[in-house]
């Protein structure tokens, strides 16, 4: 699995610049190998926030019916309020995600298509449930893809699992892995003044191998409510929050 991303050296200073900024996010960048990787991860976390989707628990990977940690029924809608911090600037946006019944297969796994519309663009992301693992498959045009496993509701608190990937940055491959940990289960969580019950809290760490050791470049905290879906996603780099996405409205069909 390869992933290449560019980075804009100047973030928008005004609200009017936001649309232009999003369109320019994939421009080439210059710098050291480490800086390139860290900048790539920042753009990845931004994409994750803006294209935050939904999926459900179903042994046969079919939408609809039964208890779920995110309904997979056609025309269900989730609306998120997004905040991204880049180079001292703060970008705010909203994303409306609509579940479709279109299925695609990537690397032998089934994913459903979610249409994501923000203030400037409409695109698709892919949501899968394979072997009890909920994951998003992010596709960034010709620049690569990355699968992010964010939940396995059969795991106990404290349990972790890893998936491997290869990040390709300007032609150079770097070994990477995604480590997902169950932090809390069955908790209550308030997001934008709304309380949710039966929530699972997970932590997703994106790590790359530097020398002989892996280094965590970004950490993403997911809060997923039963029969609702992802209600909050908070991304940090170096202990500093760089983006968040919070549910403010939803309709489950």
* Separation of alpha carbons 128 and 151, rounded Å: 11
Cβ-based neighbour number of residue 73 at 10 Å: 15
* Separation of alpha carbons 45 and 250, rounded Å: 23
Residue-level pLDDT at 132: 86
The full set of domain ranges for the chain reads 15-251
Residue-level pLDDT at 17: 40
Residue-level pLDDT at 130: 86
Residue-level pLDDT at 9: 26
Cβ-based neighbour number of residue 206 at 10 Å: 26
Specify burial of residue 105 (Cβ count, 10 A radius: 0-12, 13-18, 19+): exposed
Which tokens is 17 given?
A: 């610049």
* Separation of alpha carbons 3 and 243, rounded Å: 20
C-alpha of 43 from chain center: 11
Give the pLDDT of the chain (253 residues) as one tens digit per residue.
333 222 222 333 334 444 333 333 322 223 334 444 444 444 455 445 444 433 333 334 444 445 788 788 999 999 999 999 888 889 899 999 999 999 999 888 888 899 999 888 888 888 888 888 899 887 644 445 678 899 999 999 999 999 887 776 667 777 888 999 999 999 999 999 999 999 999 999 988 888 888 889 899 999 999 999 999 999 999 889 999 999 999 999 9
How do strand 89-106 and strand 109-117 relate by DSSP bridges?
A: antiparallel
Residue-level pLDDT at 66: 58
Residue-level pLDDT at 170: 64
The third-level CATH classification (topology) of the domain covering 15-251 is YmcC-like fold (2.40.360)
User: What's the pTM?
Assistant: 0.75
Is the CA virtual torsion 216, 175, 48, 62 positive or negative? negative
* Separation of alpha carbons 136 and 149, rounded Å: 7
């Amino acid at each position: 699995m390869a992933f290449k991303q560019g980075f804009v050296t100047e973030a928008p200073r005004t609200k009017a610049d936001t649309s232009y900024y999003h369109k320019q996010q994939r421009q080439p960048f210059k710098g050291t190998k480490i800086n390139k990787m860290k900048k790539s991860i920042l753009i990845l976390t931004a994409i994750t926030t803006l294209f935050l989707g939904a999926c459900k628990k179903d042994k046969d990977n079919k939408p609809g019916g039964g208890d779920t940690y995110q309904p997979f029924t056609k025309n269900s809608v989730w609306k998120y309020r997004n905040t991204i911090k880049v180079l001292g600037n703060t970008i705010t946006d909203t994303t409306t995600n609509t579940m479709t019944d279109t299925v695609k297969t990537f690397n032998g796994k089934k994913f459903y298509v979610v249409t994501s519309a923000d203030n400037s663009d409409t695109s698709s992301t892919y949501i899968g449930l394979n072997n009890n693992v909920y994951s998003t498959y992010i596709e960034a045009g010709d620049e690569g893809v990355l699968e992010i496993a964010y939940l396995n509701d059969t795991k106990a608190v404290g349990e972790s699992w890893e998936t491997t990937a290869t990040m390709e940055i300007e032609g150079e491959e770097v070994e990477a892995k995604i480590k997902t940990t169950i932090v809390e289960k069955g908790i209550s969580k308030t997001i934008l003044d709304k309380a949710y019950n039966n929530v699972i809290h997970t932590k997703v760490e994106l790590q790359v191998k530097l020398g002989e050791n892996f280094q965590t470049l970004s950490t993403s905290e997911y809060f997923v409510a039963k029969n609702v879906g992802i209600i909050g996603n908070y991304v940090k780099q170096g202990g500093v929050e760089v983006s968040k996405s919070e549910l403010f409205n939803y309709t489950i069909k």
